Every structure is written in structure tokens, then in C-alpha cells.
């Protein structure tokens, strides 16, 4: 049975961020699912994706973009996951947080363009949502993307709770599952060195550098993303 491809979006985005890749994979007759990530905490988000994955009949290839890379690092221990693909994403070590991994490298342009707003939590206290300044979003997050599309994505962001930045990964699935990764060399959201370091530490089977690629490579160069996903499928099978 061919694996189901589960595309996991990151912070400041939603499932629609995968649309160009989703369309191409469907056109190639792959089985694809693109679940929501609620961006509340790494543990909760990973648990949600793991539960979603475990309800799929047969093997699953998890593909994570950006913060979605951290999510699949934890969710990927599900028994039916047969591989991990990181797209401009975070490959965390067990116990490591996003903040710790990023803290070892110079800040990207994202750091100066974040917006913090309160949101109500179930216990009655306020949490803090983090999003990208709408005016800066096209250049920082969606550089190279059609301007009209970038504008739509900017005003429809799914924020990430600030608490998620400091939360350590409970496990690192790349220690037991094969992995592949794309480094977006012109990424202004995540320092490309963060991507390279995480992928090399994880011992991914193949690391592809896409010259000039921005953070939202799924829109700017979806064919490169599809090519790596299909390479992973071929090697798994």
C-alpha cells in the first residue's frame, strides 16, 4: 500500500499554505491529507497530528513546513509513520525548544516583525498570540510569492501561541524514522543555518538546498517540494 502523504503546516499559516503542492500531488494520484494545526502548544499540536495520523489505514509519510517540522518531529513516532520530510522546518532534538534551536544562530528578519496580542485561555488568564506584521508578511514570510496571494495569506494568518516557542520536544522521531529535508537558502523567516544544522544533526537521508528559495517555498517552487516528497516515497517503497 502506498503511503498517505500528510502535509503539516506551520505557524502564521494554515492548510491553504500547501495548496500548490497539494494540487500537484493529487494530480499525480497520490493520497493526500492536509489537517489543521491549532498552534496552541507543541505537545498539543503534535498529539493532534499523531491522532490524525493513527486513524489513517496504512503507512503515512509526514511532511512538515516550518513549525510543522517541530510537530512532525514529535508526532512522527506514531507506528504507521514511515518517513519524515522537512520543508524549511525545525528538526528538534529531544528536549529542545524552538527558542533554544534558534538561539544558537543570528536572528532572521522575522524577529523584528512579530506582533504580540492577548487571547483568552480556558483557565480565564490571557495567553499571548504571535503573528507576523501584515505589512511585512509579503517580504519576510512570502518573498517570491505572487503579491496578490501573499496579501491574502498575510491577512489570514493562524497565529502561534508564544508558549510554544519555549516548549521542549518530548521525543525526536528522526532517531527512528528516515528523513529528508529542503533548505530554503533565501529564507527570511528561519535562518537557513537553523535548517541545515537541524537536518545534519538528524542525519537525514537527503538534504536539498534550493537556491533563492524563500520560506514559503511551497508557493514559490512547489515542484521542488513535490520532487523531494516523491523521492522519499520511492525510497520508502
Q: Is 198 helix (H, G, I), strand (E, B) or coil?
A: helix
Show Cβ contacts of residue 219 under 8 Å, excluding neighbours closer than 6 positions: 17, 19, 20, 142, 144, 145, 146, 149
pLDDT of residue 237: 74
pLDDT of residue 1: 87
Residue with the three cell numbers 507576523: 132
Predicted confidence (pLDDT) at residue 122 exceeds the cutoff of 90:
no
Cell output for 18: 500547501
Helices (H), 76-131: 98-103
pLDDT tens-digit readout, 19-32: 999 999 999 999 99
pLDDT tens-digit readout, 78-110: 999 999 999 999 999 999 999 999 999 999 999
- Taking the C-alpha atoms of residue 137 and residue 180, their distance in angstroms, rounded to an integer, is 27
Parse the chain into domains and list their residue ranges: 4-236
Say yes or no: domain 4-236 is CATH 3.40.50.720. no
Task: Kindly report the backbone phi and psi dihedral angles of residue 165, in degrees, each rounded to the nearest multiple of 5, phi listed first.
Answer: -65, -30
pLDDT of residue 228: 98
The least confident of 51-60, 128-137, 139-148, 182-191 is 139-148
HSE-up of residue 121 (Cα within 13 Å, Cβ side): 13
> Whole-model pTM?
0.97
pLDDT tens-digit readout, 29-55: 999 999 999 999 999 999 999 999 999
pLDDT of residue 128: 97
pLDDT of residue 185: 96
Predicted confidence (pLDDT) at residue 112 exceeds the cutoff of 80:
yes
CA 211 to mean position of chain CA atoms = 19
Q: Is 44 helix (H, G, I), strand (E, B) or coil?
A: helix
Predicted confidence (pLDDT) at residue 3 exceeds the cutoff of 80:
yes
pLDDT tens-digit readout, 198-218: 999 999 999 999 999 999 999
Predicted confidence (pLDDT) at residue 178 exceeds the cutoff of 90:
yes
Amino acid at each position: 500500500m502506498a503511503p498517505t502523504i500528510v502535509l503539516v503546516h506551520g505557524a502564521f499559516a494554515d492548510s491553504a499554505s500547501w495548496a500548490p503542492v497539494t494540487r500537484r500531488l493529487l494530480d499525480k494520484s497520490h493520497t493526500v491529507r492536509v489537517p489543521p494545526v491549532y498552534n496552541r502548544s507543541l505537545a498539543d499540536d503534535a498529539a493532534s497530528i499523531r491522532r490524525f495520523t493513527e486513524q489513517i489505514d496504512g503507512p503515512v509519510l509526514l511532511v512538515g513546513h516550518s513549525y510543522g517540522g517541530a510537530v512532525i518531529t514529535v508526532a512522527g513516532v506514531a507506528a504507521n509513520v514511515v518517513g519524515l520530510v522537512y520543508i524549511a522546518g525545525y528538526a528538534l532534538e529531544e528536549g529542545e525548544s524552538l527558542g533554544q534551536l534558534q538561539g544558537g544562530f543570528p536572528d532572521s528578519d522575522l524577529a523584528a516583525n512579530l506582533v504580540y496580542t492577548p487571547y483568552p485561555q480556558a483557565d480565564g488568564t490571557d495567553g499571548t498570540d504571535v503573528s507576523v506584521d501584515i505589512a511585512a508578511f509579503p517580504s519576510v514570510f512570502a518573498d517570491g510569492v505572487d503579491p496578490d496571494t501573499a496579501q491574502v495569506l498575510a491577512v489570514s494568518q493562524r497565529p502561534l501561541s508564544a508558549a510554544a516557542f519555549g516548549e521542549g520536544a518530548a521525543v525526536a522521531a528522526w532517531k527512528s524514522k528516515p528523513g529528508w529535508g529542503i533548505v530554503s537558502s533565501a529564507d527570511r523567516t528561519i535562518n537557513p543555518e537553523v535548517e541545515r544544522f537541524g537536518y545534519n544533526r538528524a542525519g537525514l537521508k537527503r538534504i536539498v538546498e534550493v537556491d533563492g528559495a524563500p520560506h514559503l517555498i511551497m508557493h514559490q517552487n512547489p515542484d521542488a517540494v513535490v520532487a523531494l516528497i516523491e523521492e522519499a516515497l520511492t525510497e520508502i517503497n
